[in-house]
Amino acid sequence: MTSIRSGLKFLSLRAGIYTDAFPLYLNWYPLSTKVLLPNTQPPVSEGRIAFTSRDELGEGMAALMANGLDAFPTIKPKTDKNIILLTSQATNTLEDLVHAISQAKDAETPIEYLEPGDWIAASAKDDVGNKPRAWFEARLIVLEGFNQGEAEIVDDALATLLGRTPETGFDGVQRSLREDGGFTWHQNHM
């Protein structure tokens, strides 16, 4: 591990996309009867995302802080910024998460694809969270990044820290909904 000019040793921990925030990415609420997704290129069906449990991230970070990096010799920081990527070992698409919702609720949650401008307008029209149009315009950029592979990188560091394979995004959504059918990601928007 290199050190910065001050001589202090450091690590940069970078987390996968929080599985627990799946309602945010799908604009899904427990009373939702369908999920709207933008018809983008590349398509949403190709956007692989390393969804990762916040609980497992916390557990892995605690193990690293309690034991130090030397206790995990197979974990090697990446780049001169000493980045350690903490992710699940599998990727899922947004469509996969909608299927996980359907299975957990024992009811089909259909997906409706709309052209990007129509998706923004329809999503903002009667949004349960009262999010403005600008929020969905910004969200489209995030979703397009997912579709272009910006969140698909996985690393085995979290599995090493946990001593087990981390939960997949699909499994995390199902667990969350089975534990609490009214699961809502508490979104704060301005």
Q: Has residue 5 been placed in a domain?
A: no
pLDDT tens, per residue, the chain with 190 residues: 555 577 777 889 999 999 999 998 999 988 899 999 999 999 999 999 999 999 999 999 999 999 999 999 999 998 878 999 999 999 999 999 999 999 999 999 999 999 999 999 999 998 888 899 999 999 999 999 999 999 999 999 999 999 999 999 999 999 999 998 777 666 655 4
Domain count for the chain: 1
Q: Hey, which residues does 92 pair with through a beta bridge?
A: 49
3-state secondary structure of 73: coil
Q: Give tens-digit pLDDT for 101-152.
A: 999 999 999 999 999 999 999 999 988 888 999 999 999 999 999 999 999 9
User: Residue 172 is part of which domain span?
Assistant: 12-179
Q: What is the DSSP letter of 92?
A: B
Q: Has residue 83 been placed in a domain?
A: yes
Give the CATH number for residue 145.
3.40.50.720
Give CA–CA dist 182/190, Å, rounded.
24
Q: What are phi and psi of 187, to 5 degrees?
A: -85, 130
Q: Has residue 6 been placed in a domain?
A: no
